[in-house]
Structure 1
Amino acid sequence: MSALYTNENMQNLAQLKQLAPEQLKAFNDFNADVLKDGALSNKEKEIIAVAITHVTQCPYCIESHTKSAKKAGATLEELCEAVFVTAAVEAGGTVTHSTHVHNAKNKEASDVLYARSNLKSLGQLGKLASDGFKGYQAFSTVATKSGQLSSKIKEIIAVAVANTIQCPYCIDVHTKNAVKQGATGEELAEAIMVASAVRAGGAYAHMANMIQCYQE
């Protein structure tokens, strides 16, 4: 195939009914259960899903969940704000992991790679790249403040993104922020399950390419 990503490729997924019927049904049921109304509405879950697809960078998933979010009543402004939360958290993951660079240069550093106390070293980044660090802080603040989406749902999105990028610092910070904004344990749990399903969906959707390649 000359084009790796075309909508036509998705037709190959119909073959999964014969190739892996049991797994396909379980996957579809998983998605349906995760995205139904609960502590979070279907609309909120689809907005979270769109944010997560921009972590997994699956074009099939971006298209599918954007259309589903629109159908559920999400506006383009809401979706743009959600994706900017993704961008901010991904930036934050890189920024917070800079603390490991500081520890690597310190011969007296603990053998524990991930400790909350590592975040005390963020000041080093602020000193060594002050303009960039200030720019990051300003961006993160704007991305997570209330707008078309509330600060609460943005922090819930941030928790889902943090779990997807597997940044323990981001998980810790944004979980605390979300709780401060009034998020419940049920809401956070449902958001994480949406992230889980969308991450699985990226692998599922790319089977369209695998099947195409195999049969060429």
Structure 2
Amino acid sequence: MGSNLYDKVHIRHLKKLGDLVPDVHKAHQGFAEAVMKDGVLSVKEKELIAVAVAHSTECPFCIDSHTKGAKKAGASLEELAEAVYVTASIEAGGAFAHSANMHNALDEAADDALYRRSSMEHMKKLRQHAPEPFDAMMRFFQTATAEGKLSVKLKELIAVAVAHTTECPYCIDIHSKAARKAGASDAELAEAILVTAYLRSGGAWAHMALMIQAYGEE
């Protein structure tokens, strides 16, 4: 029994899935291949989205695999860093956005609808009580999604993908609109979401390596 749960050697166990559950394994592989091939988004763009989402799902196997995939597709380390900073901004933004629910919870007159668009107005109340960190947070959000090595459009597509990972409806609303404003098409948004779906399934798939390893240990 090894002490390192995330030893890359455990990945070898995934080869057994073709024998253990051949039909679903084949279907999942087909899903992966269809999602990650060139479409309206390039392989490079999809791999950048995949790396960003993998930092949200926190799957080290996915980070390793898709970082290498992004590099092979031509992504630079600067581009990868920008992509992951978008993830960091959406993770922070999810906590910020859900402060609207906190304010609703403290309002005895609030109705039972937890996710009204109008509730987003409550987010501004954080600034009243913590102006300096609030302003610093907003500067971070603006800088993370600004034009850089990656375009604003790709950053907003990454933001939408990560928002579907964090399951923040406010973030989905805000960044879907921002992506559209930046020129993203319905097809590009669809492909970004399918990369997200694949990465979320891929995290569970990759961690079966640890399940198989654990099952074989005494």
Q: Aligning the two structures, in what range does the TM-score lie when normalised by the shorter sequence? A: over 0.9
1:96 corresponds to which residue? 97
Give identity over the alignment, percent. 54
Q: Distance in 2 between matches of 1:156 and 1:142?
A: 16
Q: Distance in 1 between matches of 2:212 and 2:199?
A: 20
**Unaligned stretches of 5+ residues in structure 2:** none
One-letter amino acid matched to 1:11: R
2:70 corresponds to which residue? 69
Q: Distance in 2 between matches of 1:115 and 1:49?
A: 30
Q: Distance in 1 between matches of 2:74 and 2:42?
A: 11
Q: Deviation at 1:44?
A: 0.3
2:187 corresponds to which residue? 186
1:33-112 map, 5 Å: 33-112=34-113
Q: Distance in 2 between matches of 1:203 and 1:152?
A: 29
Q: Distance in 1 between matches of 2:15 and 2:180?
A: 42
Q: 1:41-80, CA deviations, whole angstroms, 9 ceiling, x for partnerless residues? A: 1110000000000000000000000000100111110000
One-letter amino acid matched to 2:81: C
Q: Deviation at 1:131?
A: 1.1
Q: Deviation at 1:115?
A: 0.5
1:1-216 map, 5 Å: 1-216=2-217
Structure 2-normalised TM-score? 0.98
Runs (4+) of structure 1 moved beyond 6 Å?
Answer: none
Q: Distance in 1 between matches of 2:109 and 2:50?
A: 42
Other structure's SS at 1:145 match: coil
One-letter amino acid matched to 2:185: T
Q: Aligned residues, how many?
A: 216
Superposition RMSD in Å: 0.6
